[in-house]
Amino acid sequence: MADQGFVISVLAAAITAGTPILYAALGELVTERAGILNLGVEGIMLVGAVSGFIAAVAFESSWIGLAAALLAGGMVALIHAFLTITLRANQTVCGLALTLFGTGLSGYLGKAYIGMPVPQPFVAQSLPFLSGIPFIGPIMFNHDILVYLSYLLAPLLWLFLTRTRPGLHLRALGENPAAADALGINVFFLRYLYVCIGGMLCGVGGAYLSLAYAPSWLENMTAGRGWIAVALVIFALWSPLRAMVGSYLFGGIDALGFYLQVKGVTLSPFFLTMLPYIFTIVALVAVMARRGGKLAAPGALGLPYDRESR
């Protein structure tokens, strides 16, 4: 029973730790499906985290904090959209610049809030009936509302991409924007829209850290999760459902380090901290090797679209 309790604790913690990565990965997935590479996920998550935290403290409401994180993530992503879609700037360089910008901006805005608690953080709430299911219940149905929303978001996004006409248009933007334009699809407007939606989801991923996972603000509190989310999109082969599984897998590796320390396993804490990042590299190498170096990336990913050059 003790071992089962340990397994349940680790798996439940994997879901909690994987949720911010899942939100960010889904945001990046939507962006890349539209043909825009955004390496600024880490910076957008930090801006979302600090914006959500400041708004939650000011209005004493985590829901207002969440709305602020959505808005802030969308606004930062809008900068990326303007640079890469309108000005056709290099998407890799813009993404890296956005990460530096988000890191600096969040550090400046959050300086006065370091160490403060959130007045009303999102807390775990057991779902009636479902939380009583043996083994599965305590793992999946004893979390906060943002975790439950993420359960719905990934399958809904998969349905949107594979079963709806707007989803088909989104995939066309990333595969062949010239053909989509010829069919009357407004490539520029939709790319702006999906880049902003992707940024909003990344902002929620950051807000989850400051409003639920560790309800406080710490500088650089994303600790590289944005980069893991970018890698996870490749690992998941641009599928929302695979991204969901991968997020919990990465979250499990992250949580396992903590639980091994609690169990008294004599491993260096630095090695345990490195585990998620080591696993990220190993997973990417494994995916690349399995597919012979050929990934199912959108055909026009990272390429600026010039209507005049059709």
What are the residues facing 142 on neighbouring strands?
Answer: 126
Residue 307, domain member (yes or no) = no
Whether 125 is covered by a domain: the verdict is: yes
Taking residues 302-308, what's their average pLDDT? 83
pLDDT of residue 151: 96
- pLDDT tens digits for range 262-275: 777 777 777 777 87
Q: What CA–CA distance (Å, rounded) separates 301 from 59?
A: 40
**Which residues lie below 8 Å from residue 112, measured CB to CB, with a gap of 6+?**
none
Residues 6+ apart with CB under 8 A from 300: 35, 173, 174, 175, 176, 177
Q: Cα separation of 83 and 95, whole Å?
A: 10
- Could you give the CA distance from residue 110 to residue 45 in angstroms, rounded to a whole number? 13
Q: What is the rounded average pLDDT of the residues 45-68?
A: 96
- Where b means 16+ CB within 10 Å and e means fewer, 196-230 reads bbbbbbbbbbbbbbbbbbebbbbeebbeebbbbbb
Is 309 a member of any domain? no
Domain that holds residue 188: 1-290
**What's the rounded Cα separation, in Å, for the pair 72 and 50?**
9
In the predicted structure, residue 295 carries a pLDDT above the cut 90? no
117: in domain: yes
174's tokens: 């990333």
Q: What is the pLDDT of residues 198-253, one digit of tens each?
A: 999 999 999 999 999 999 999 999 988 999 999 999 888 899 999 999 899 888 88
The answer to whether position 73 is within a domain reads yes
Q: Per the domain annotation, does 3 fall within a domain? A: yes
Pairing mode of beta strands 142-143, 125-126: antiparallel
If DSSP states are collapsed to H, E and C, what string results for the chain? CHHHHHHHHHHHHHHHHHHHHHHHHHHHHHHHHCCCCCCCHHHHHHHHHHHHHHHHHHHCCHHHHHHHHHHHHHHHHHHHHHHHHHCCCCHHHHHHHHHHHHHHHHHHHCHHHECCECCCCCCCEECCCHHHCCCHHHHHCEECHHHHHHHHHHHHHHHHHHHCHHHHHHHHHHHCHHHHHHCCCCHHHHHHHHHHHHHHHHHHHHHHHHHHHCCEECCCCCCCHHHHHHHHHHHCCCCHHHHHHHHHHHHHHHHHHHHHHHCCCCCCHHHHHHHHHHHHHHHHHHHHHHCCCCCCCCCCCCCCCCHHHC
**Mean pLDDT lowest among 59-63, 157-161, 221-225, 306-310:** 306-310
Q: What is the mean pLDDT of the chain?
A: 90
Rg (CA), the chain: 19
Within a domain: residue 295?
no
For residue 273, give Cα distances in angstroms to 23, 208, 253, 257: 22, 20, 10, 7
Q: Over pLDDT 70: what percentage of the chain? A: 97
Q: How many other CB atoms sit within 10 Å of the CB of residue 36?
A: 31
Instruction: Please check whether residue 67 lies inside any domain of the structure.
Output: yes
Count of domains for the chain: 1
CATH number reported for the structural domain that contains residue 257 in this entry: 1.10.3470
